[in-house]
Structure 1
Amino acid sequence: MVGESDVDIGSATPGDMAELVGVLGDAEMFADQLRRQAEGLGQLLVAWVGGLAVGVVYLRWEPADEPEIRRHLHAVPLLRHLEVHPEWRKRGVGSRLLREAEARLAGRGFRRVALGVAPDNFPAISLYRKQGYEKWPQPDVKTAIDEFSVMVKDLRR
Structure 2
Amino acid sequence: MSHVRVLQAHDSHLEDLITAFGKRHYFVRQLERQCAGHGKLLVAWTDFTTPAGAVYLWLAPAQEPELRAGLVGVPLLTDLEVRPAFRRQGIATRLVKEAESLAAARSHRLALGVSPDKSELHRFWRNRDYQPWRLWLETTRDIFQDDGTVDREIDYCHVLVKNLVSQPLEGVL
Q: Name which of 132, 137, 141 aligns with 2:137.
A: 141
Paired residue for 1:156?
165
Structure with more of its chain in strand, by fraction? 2
Structure with more of its chain in helix, by fraction? 1
Instruction: State the 1:109 CA deviation.
Output: 3.1
Once residues 30 and 115 of structure 1 are traced to their aligned partners in structure 2, the CA distance between those partners, rounded to angstroms, is 19
Paired residue for 1:128?
125
Paired residue for 1:86?
84
Q: Identity rate of aligned residues, in percent?
A: 40
Secondary structure of the structure 2 residue equivalent to 1:95: helix
| Alpha carbons 2:61, 2:68 under 8 Å: kept | yes
Q: Which runs of 5+ in 1 are unaligned?
A: none
Instruction: State the 1:156 CA deviation.
Output: 0.4
TM-score (norm 1): 0.92
Paired amino acid for 1:133: Y
| Alpha carbons 1:95, 1:127 under 8 Å: kept | no
| Alpha carbons 2:137, 2:158 under 8 Å: kept | yes
- 1:62 counterpart = 2:60: yes
Paired amino acid for 1:151: L
| Alpha carbons 2:130, 2:161 under 8 Å: kept | yes
Q: Name which of 21, 29, 33 aligns with 2:18.
A: 21
After superposition, what is the alpha-carbon deviation per residue over 1:28-66, rounded to whole angstroms, capped at 9, x for unaligned?
A: 111111001101111000000011000001111100111
- 1:42 counterpart = 2:51: no
Equivalenced residues, count: 152
| Alpha carbons 2:135, 2:157 under 8 Å: kept | no
Paired amino acid for 1:91: Q
Paired residue for 2:95?
97
Secondary structure of the structure 2 residue equivalent to 1:140: strand
